[in-house]
Amino acid sequence: MRILVVEDDKKVAGFIKKGLEEESYAVDVAYDGEDGLHLGSEGQYDLIILDIMLPKIDGLEILSQLRDQGKDTPILLLTAKDAVDDKVTGLNKGADDYLTKPFAFSELLARVRVLLRRGKAEVKTTLMISDLTLDLVSHKVNRGGDEIELTGKEYGLLEYFMRNQEKVLTRTMIAEHVWDYNFDTFTNVIDVYINHLRKKIDKGRELKLLHTLRGVGYVMKK
What sign does the CA torsion over 8, 10, 12, 15 have?
A: positive
pLDDT tops 50 at residue 51 = yes
Contact 73, 46 (CB under 8 A): yes
Render pLDDT for 58-79 as a digit per residue (tens, 0 to 9): 999 999 999 999 998 999 999 8
CATH code, 126-220: 1.10.10.10
**Window from 142-146, 187-191, 197-201, 209-213 with minimum mean pLDDT:** 187-191
Domain spans of the chain, in order of start? 2-119, 126-220
The secondary structure of residue 9, as a DSSP letter, is -
- Give the mean model confidence (pLDDT) for residues 205-220: 95
Q: What is the pLDDT of residue 173?
A: 83
Mean pLDDT of the chain: 89
CA distance 121 to 134: 18
CA distance 22 to 169: 12
- For residue 38, the one-letter residue type is H
3-state percent breakdown (helix, strand, coil) of the chain, nearest 5: 40, 20, 40
- Those residues whose C-beta lies under 8 Å from the C-beta of residue 94, and which sit 6 or more positions away, are 63, 64, 67, 75
Q: What is the pLDDT of residue 123?
A: 47
CA distance 178 to 191: 13
**Window from 56-60, 163-167, 204-208 with minimum mean pLDDT:** 163-167
Q: What is the pLDDT of residue 121?
A: 47
Binned at pLDDT 50, 70 and 90, residue 122 comes out as very low
pLDDT tops 70 at residue 180 = no
With CA atoms as reference, report the closest residue to 165 among 206, 204, 196, 134: 134
Buried b (16+ CB within 10 A) or exposed e, 70-100: eeebbbbbbbeeebeebbebbeebebbebbe
CATH code, 2-119: 3.40.50.2300
- Give the mean model confidence (pLDDT) for residues 42-65: 94
pTM: 0.62
Binned at pLDDT 50, 70 and 90, residue 181 comes out as low
Render pLDDT for 126-139 as a digit per residue (tens, 0 to 9): 889 999 999 877 88
